[in-house]
Chains A and B, each alone.
Chain A
Amino acid sequence: MVNDTSFAPWDDPQERPLIRFQNVTKRFGDFVAIDDLTLDIYQREFFALLGPSGCGKTTMMRMLAGFEEPTDGMIELAGEDIAHVPPNKRAVNMMFQSYALFPHLSVWDNVAFGLRRESRDKDAIAERVEQMLKLTRLEKFAGRKPHQISGGQRQRVALARSLAKAPKLLLLDEPLGALDAKLRQATQFELMDIQEKTGTTFVIVTHDQEEAMTVASRVAVMDEGRVMQVATPEQIYEAPNSTYVADFIGDVNLIEGRAKPNGGGAYHINWAEGQAPFEAKSDMVLSEGQRCHLALRPEKVGIQPNKPEEVNAVQGKVLDIAYLGNLSTYHVELSTGQVIKAQTANTNRLSRRDFMWDDPVWVSWSASAGVLLSQ
């Protein structure tokens, strides 16, 4: 889905969103958990809510599931205002952060639980349960109780249970939080696979940016009850709209300076007294002398022993080297005291590393490598 460039209903004005948040505010007493949120989520999307702990992700999910009512504003599901629809009457299922498996029921009965509420046809239920167990590869554990299976298996039971009723919308609240890195990655791909097979709309909550980037068709980055940016993972990474988003997603160099328009979307950024300005391109219109940040991803910054031909090049010395196996990140201290991170791929073995601590080096990047941010 991520690489499927043709899937972009949010760009199509004809498309009706499945979920519409319209100026939704949620207060707990005086505390504003969700602040005037407006957001559309489309059918078949894998939508990720990303943000630090306490920013209101779970609250948003709980409003969609029907456990909380918005204080202000309206939430529409498939064109219908769902404010007063109780949770059991919504075509929405939720996979809980804690899994919330019924401890007194077997895996089989957990998965069948929702189906039994709507149908009495035993054969149809059995067939659907078997299908779900197969999908999540749990056939062998059907007779076990939740406390008799591993954490990863429990998580799959929770997924099977929430998928069994074929909801229009599936909410996943930090579904992989309890898993270790390897299992987590495998499960992410499994989730994407299942999403594609079932065609359900997924909204996933996570505070792990890598997870959001891996699974999502679009990502909403949240902070203190507000959505800072909604875009595809590529856009969020390559074209963040604020220093908050740029800083939250991945590693970034933020260089503060003042803009000087040069015409044709080109700018000079005066970033330090007595230093040559950096050149940058931007679609954004900045006025003369406007304060801005240049956001540079470390992998777009080159590092060389001699002065390169690049338009932006500054000298410094190696302060720190972070060896990440496949990559190395060099922290280069400039004469102004600023530190710029540059990342290189380790195609050579460690013994042939090019730079050592305190080596004088040049860091450089092209005019289009960075993103100019005004906020």
Chain B
Amino acid sequence: MGQLERKRGGAPVAMRRLTLITVPYLWLLALFLIPFAIVFKISLSDIALAIPPYTPTMEDGLWALLSQLDFENFVFLTEDDLYWKAYLSSLQIALISTVLTLLVGYPMAYAMARAPEEWRPTLMMLVILPFWTSFLIRVYAWVGILSSEGFLNQFLLWLGIVDTPLKILNTNTAVYVGIVYTYLPFMILPIYAALDRLDGSLIEAAEDLGCSRLEAFWLVTIPLSKNGIIAGCFLVFIPALGEFVIPSLLGGSGTLMIGKVLFEEFFANRDWPVASAVAVILLLILIVPIVLFQRNEQRQAKAEK
């Protein structure tokens, strides 16, 4: 009887499961793969004075379209050292700001996890609060803080720590400040989640077995929040690598980031094919950390089971 019922219910169940699986893939197809295919196609085209500003287009027919595509733009990227310097510099800036964000975010997450239970929702709110205003406005506000006449310099002058205003705005330092500030919640939240789950008696056990406070922190707290640290670092590193708004608003002429290069190719030079090639390479660079991130998440999910 039970078996019969299961058989009758079989088809709809399989259908439902199939739908459940296909929906996210359709989503991925529509929002990621198709746009990527279009960008990739453009990266293989040639610049043209037309609308859209490249050839060939679909109107030329499929055969003409396929036969005219080539890797010229990618070859061009290797010839002009602007591009690989921009990639390297972006990697460097993203890496340094990730480390800085970790250094600022970990103590904050730790303090949050240690705070009395009744404070935690408030602290959590404070971390998320900045998301309620526009990202652009918040970054722009840093111009007012960091510029030569900005709040920071006026404050330092008033304190007498400096005689002449520091040049912070339009340097890489300002970019670091901007990235750390913007992406801090992405670092804090996963680390806080890991620390919140950590059983306090483990720290006591470590102390009981002869650890000082600091040793217990290194040997127990850090390893047990490792997954939160890894997740936070990827969540900061991945968007920071292609960051455009922060280097354009806070960075200077010396700040070389691939997001800025991309923007200039698209809008200043109107060279869509080269810009697309830049974007494709950026994506390929990002796939490595994204895959690593996914593996970390999966491992964590498995360990929790």
Contacts and interface: CB of A to CB of B under 8 A. Distances in A.
B65 interface: no
Interface stretch (A10-18, A95-103, A249-257, A300-308): A95-103
- Most chain A CB within 10 A, of B204, B206, B210, B226, is at B210
Interface of B: 199, 201-202, 204-212, 215, 219-220, 223-224, 226, 303
B201 A96 contact: yes
A270 B216 CA distance: 64
10 contacts: A65-B204, A88-B207, A88-B210, A88-B212, A100-B204, A100-B205, A104-B223, A113-B206, A114-B209, A117-B210
Contacts of B210: 88, 114, 117-118, 165
A98 B201 contact: yes
B208 A102 contact: no
Contacts of A162: 208
B96 to A, nearest CB: 28
A104 B209 CA distance: 16
Interface string A141-162: 0000001000000000000011
Contacts, number: 57
A88 B208 contact: yes
A65 B204 CA distance: 10
A117 B209 contact: yes
B181 to A, nearest CB: 32
B205 A96 contact: yes
Contacts of B206: 102, 113
- Most chain A CB within 10 A, of B207, B215, B303, is at B207
Interface string A63-98: 001110000000000000000001110001110101
Given A96-B204, A100-B205, A147-B303, 17 more contacts: A66-B207, A67-B204, A87-B208, A88-B211, A92-B208, A94-B204, A94-B205, A96-B201, A98-B201, A100-B204, A101-B205, A102-B206, A103-B202, A103-B224, A104-B224, A113-B219, A117-B209
A117 B208 CA distance: 11
- Most chain A CB within 10 A, of B204, B205, B212, B224, is at B205
A254 B303 CA distance: 55
A14 to B, nearest CB: 32
Contacts of A102: 202, 205-206, 220
B208 A94 contact: yes
Interface string A98-121: 101111100000000110011000
Given A102-B220, A104-B223, A113 B209 contact: yes
Contacts of B208: 65-66, 87-88, 92-94, 162
A101 B207 CA distance: 13
B190 to A, nearest CB: 17
B199 A98 contact: yes
A289 B219 CA distance: 67
B116 to A, nearest CB: 14
Nearest to A65: B208
A165 B224 contact: no
Contacts of B220: 102
A28 to B, nearest CB: 14
A147 B219 CA distance: 19
A147 B215 CA distance: 24
Nearest to A145: B303
B224 A161 contact: no
A153 to B, nearest CB: 17
Nearest to B223: A104
Nearest to A103: B224
Contacts of A118: 210
Nearest to A94: B208
In the complex, the 7 A-B pairs of residues with the closest C-beta atoms, listed nearest first = A114-B209, A117-B210, A100-B205, A100-B201, A87-B207, A104-B223, A88-B210
A104 B208 CA distance: 18
Contacts of B205: 94, 96, 100-102
Nearest to B207: A87
Contacts of B212: 88
A98 B208 CA distance: 14
A165 B219 CA distance: 18
Contacts of A66: 207-208
Contacts of A114: 209-210
Contact of A100 (B202, B224, B226, B303): B202
A8 B75 CA distance: 91
Given A88-B210, A93-B209, A100-B199, A117 B215 contact: yes
Contacts of A96: 201, 204-205
B207 A117 contact: no
Contacts of A104: 223-224, 226
B199 to A, nearest CB: 7
Contact of B204 (A87, A113, A117): A87
A162 B201 CA distance: 14
A104 B199 CA distance: 13
A161 B199 contact: no
Nearest to A113: B209
B118 to A, nearest CB: 15
A114 B204 CA distance: 12
Contacts of B303: 147
A114 B206 CA distance: 8
Contacts of A88: 207-212
A117 B211 contact: yes
A88 B219 CA distance: 14
A263 B277 CA distance: 111
